[in-house]
Amino acid sequence: MNTLKKRLIALSLFTCVAMSSVVGCGSNSSSSSEKNYSADSSSSDESVTEEKAAIDIEAITNASGNPIKLPVQSGEAGNGGVTAENGMNLSGLDPEDVNTSPEPDIETVTVVNENGEPVTESVPVTNANGEAVTEAGGQPVTEFVPVTSVIAKEITNPDYKSNSEGRYVLWMDISKDENFVFNDQFIKVQFKIKEDTPDGNYPISIVTDLSSIKGVSIDPDKIVNGTIKVGGTAPAAKDHSNEGFVVYGDTIGAKAGDTVDFYINCKNNPGLAAVLLWFYYDSNAMECKSVKSAGEFAEIDGHPETGKSEN
C-alpha cells in the first residue's frame, strides 16, 4: 500500500471521517453516527498494515458509503487532534509566527516643485525587449517623465493590536485511485469585517501540504498570500497563468462592517488527491464565518456546504 493511503487511513481514524463529521469554521466539535473509530496515538504511518487497512477501509465504506473520501472540512489550526506521527498534522504553524498585522496602503504620487509643477527627469527609451533605443550616431534616445514618490498612508488607529488566528482546510479522495485536476477558485472563505476595524491592508497568509494519489508531496512553484484592503479598492487581479503551479489568495477591497467572500485559487494544477492547507488572518479585524469548496473543485468535492459555521 502506498504512503498516501496509509497516511489517509490513519488520518481517517483520527478525524473520524467514517462518522461523516462536519467541523464548522471556528468549531472544535464533530458529530458522530454509529461507530467511533480510533487508533493507538503512538502509531505511525508505517504501522498501518495491509490487513488492518483493509478492515478499516471496509468499515469506513460501510459507515460513509464512499471509501476514503473526505469532503472539505475546516477547523481551528491546532485543534485537529492529529499529530504528524499519526498521519497528518492539522495544527499548522503557530499563529504568533505568522504576520497578519495591517499594513499601510501604498500610494504613488507625482513630485511637484514649489510652484506646484511636476518635476521631471530624463530616462533612456527602451524597445519591447528592454533594449536601449539609440540614434543614428549611437547616442541613446531619452525622454522626460514625471518623478514619482511612494508614500504609505497612515493607519487610522495607530494603537490597534492584531491577533493572528489560523484555520485548516482538509480534503481527500482516493476512492477512484486517480488525481483530480481543478483550477481557479477552489476554496471560498467568508469573512465578516468588524465595525471598528481600522483602514489598512490585512494579509491572509497561506501554507500548503498537498499530495498526489501516489503519495508524492506536490509543492507549488509559488504561493501568493492574499490581502483584504479595508478602506481601499483592490487592484486588478494578477494573471498567474505563466508561473507554473501557483496557489494564491485574492486581493479584495472592503469597508468596516462588510461581509466579503475571499477565494483561495490555483493555476496549472498538476492533479491532486489530498489537500491540506492553512490560512491565517487577523481575528481582531475580521471573523471567519464559513469555509466552502468552490468552482470546479466544488463539483469534485461534492459537498460544498461542509465547513459552514453553524454560529
Whether the pLDDT of residue 84 is over 80: the answer is no
| Percentage of the residues of the chain whose pLDDT score is greater than 70 | 69
Whether the pLDDT of residue 309 is over 90: the answer is no
- pLDDT tens-digit series, residues 254-277: 999 999 999 999 999 999 998 999
Cα–Cα dist 24/75, whole Å: 6
- Closest among 158, 162, 250 to 206, alpha carbons compared: 250
Mean pLDDT of 231-238: 87
Instruction: List, in sequence order, every residue forming a beta bridge with 165; answer none if it has no partner.
Output: 281
- Note the pLDDT of residue 78: 62
Give the pTM: 0.69
Report yes or no: 225 and 205 within 8 Å, Cβ to Cβ.
yes
> Does residue 35 or residue 10 have the better pLDDT?
10
- Note the pLDDT of residue 46: 34
Cβ contacts of 298-304, under 8 Å, gap ≥ 24? 298/186, 300/173, 300/180, 300/182, 301/71, 301/72, 301/171, 302/71, 303/71, 303/72, 304/72
The answer for residues whose C-beta is within 8 angstroms of residue 31's C-beta and 6 or more apart is 19, 20, 21, 22
Q: What is the mean pLDDT of the chain?
A: 75
Place 224 in a pLDDT band, splitting at 50, 70 and 90.
very high
- Note the pLDDT of residue 13: 45
Mean pLDDT of 98-112: 80
Interior/surface letters 17-29, b for 16+ CB within 10 angstroms, e for the rest: bbbbbbbbbbbee
Which cell is 256 given? Answer: 468596516
Place 157 in a pLDDT band, splitting at 50, 70 and 90.
confident
Which cell is 243 given? Answer: 508561473
For 160, which DSSP code? -
For 54, which DSSP code? H
Q: Are strands 226-230 and 200-211 parallel, antiparallel or unpaired?
A: antiparallel
| Percentage of the residues of the chain whose pLDDT score is greater than 90 | 37
Q: Are strands 142-146 and 120-124 parallel, antiparallel or unpaired?
A: antiparallel
Q: Are strands 251-254 and 226-230 parallel, antiparallel or unpaired?
A: parallel
Whether the pLDDT of residue 102 is over 50: the answer is yes
The answer for residues whose C-beta is within 8 angstroms of residue 125's C-beta and 6 or more apart is 132, 133, 140, 141, 142, 143
How many other CB atoms are found less than 10 A from the CB of residue 38? 9
